[in-house]
Amino acid sequence: MQINYGKREVSCKLVYYGPGMSGKTTNLEVVHQRVPEKSKGDLTSIATEGDRTLFFDFLPIDLGQVRGMTTKFQLYTVPGQIYYASTRKLVLQGADGVIFVADSQAEKIKENIESLTDLQQNLDEYGLKLEEMPFVIQWNKRDLPNALPIEELEKQINTFRAPTVPAVAATGEGVLATLKLAASLVLDRLNTKEPGAATKKAAAPAEKPAEAPPAEKKEAVVAKINADQISRSYFTQYCQVQYRLGARTEEVDDFKKFSMDEKKRLLESLINHGLLLQDAKKRSIVVSKEELEVQLKEFARRFKTKEEMDAHLAHRKLSLDNLRNEATKNVIIGKIIQKVIPNLNEKFRITETEVKEYYFTNSAKYGGKSFDAVKAEVIAGIKNQRKRELLDEMFKALRRESSITIFEENL
């Protein structure tokens, strides 16, 4: 759960768990269809040909103002197949609540129980206990003739006596009821864990800035980019993620300490990204699920197997959220460049003379290899350099028309 007191925003993560084919993806599809346009993002599904979820499905939704805070939920599903065990664990990272989608069919009882055990084991590794978490069971596929009676399911599966909702996800029945129930449990928990956290800010008198509520004092601001504020906790998180993404070693530090100079440099890059995202918003640039899918698949291609990729992420302590954010940023950068610079292809056209020139001036880099042997590498090098130049120009232009304040004392 992330709380941004400055923006009065709370962001929660809900994970739909359950055996393969129980209806998790269907649940997300129904939520996506039924939630009003302005309150939802794109549904991102990364599926194999067989229409089975490969990584996870992702849907951000906005439940509106709850007790004075904007409440955002990130909905995730997990892949059901046994061989994606490590992905299932990764998706659970940072979960605030779990919805277990059970398949009511008599012949699925064993799979349901196995999946529930798998869920408990995975949570255990994060030091979490299902019985202490916001947890809802959905009895799905109630329409099928071989569905077991609910009392029977309760007896065999619901050992914690978690709240349950019967559903026919295929027709949408029970889907929103399940989500609402889970969301309310998460929000209740937020209020008991941090008494008054959600209400304090809303009730605080606005006219006396000298007596800011304690929540705001805690949340120091490191910079302002136009109307947006960057809190210190967000910045700290950003620094850690950038360090992990760029790490050259397999294992990373739990918490990397940065010098003041490094912090300032990271803040500059965060400001650049912030400006870029604001600009994208102004230009109504959005990232479609297909575009995100291409980026994520591109990343996955670097690994021979899924297990290898999951291990890579786990070693670097990177979550799927981190990956998705990076991918989104990359897509946005590409789209803005294309919009801002209409003659982009012209700029990226590289003549043979230029390639040779670059090769000779940077010959040290190529360790004495012949021109022909490294030509492709040289061209890629030039393209990267141009891309960096273009981005620099863009950042400069954006900074000229923006108001940026840095609070160094809070770094």
Ligand X SMILES: Nc1nc2c(ncn2[C@@H]2O[C@H](COP(=O)(O)OP(=O)(O)O)[C@@H](O)[C@H]2O)c(=O)[nH]1
The footprint of Mg ion (CB under 5 A) covers 25, 53
From the list ligand X, Mg ion, none, partner contacted by residue 168 (C-beta under 5 to 8 A by kind): ligand X
Question: Shortest Cβ distance from residue 29 to ligand X (Å)?
Answer: 7
Please report, as residue ranges, which positions from 73 to 102 form the binding site for ligand X (by CB under 6 A): 77, 80
Considering Cα of 226, then 231, then 235, then 237, what sign does the dihedral take?
Answer: negative
Binding test (CB under 6 A) with ligand X, winner from 88, 89, 141, 324: 141
Q: Among Mg ion, ligand X, none, what does residue 174 contact (CB within 5–8 Å per kind)? A: none
Under the criterion CB under 6 A, does residue 106 sit at the interface with ligand X? no
Angle subtended at Cα 383 by Cα 380 and Cα 389, rounded to the nearest 5 degrees: 145
* Residue span binding ligand X (CB under 6 A) among the ranges 59-67, 119-127, 166-174, 339-347: 166-174
Q: Looking at 13, 24, 88, 244, which residue binds ligand X (CB under 6 A)?
A: 24
Does 45 sit near ligand X (CB under 6 A)? Answer: no
Structural contact between residues 55 and 292, judged by C-beta atoms closer than 8 angstroms: no
Q: Are strands 228-231 and 404-406 parallel, antiparallel or unpaired?
A: unpaired
The residue count for binding ligand X (CB under 6 A) is 18
Closest distance to ligand X from the beta carbon of 16 (Å): 8
**Under rule CB under 6 A, residue 295 binds ligand X:** no
Sign of CA dihedral 267, 270, 276, 280: negative
Q: Give 144's DSSP letter.
A: S
What whole-number distance in Å separates Cα of residue 372 and Cα of residue 374? 6
Per CB under 6 A, does 144 bind ligand X?
A: yes
Of these, 3, 14, 15, 25, which contacts ligand X (CB under 6 A)?
A: 25
CB 331 within 8 A of CB 287: yes
Establish if 114 lies at the interface with ligand X (CB under 6 A): no
Per-residue DSSP letters for 278-337?
HHHHHTT----HHHHHHHHHHHHTTSSSHHHHHHHHHHTT--HHHHHHHHHHHHHHHHHH
* Contacts to ligand X by CB under 6 A: 18, 20-26, 53, 77, 80, 140-141, 143-144, 168-170
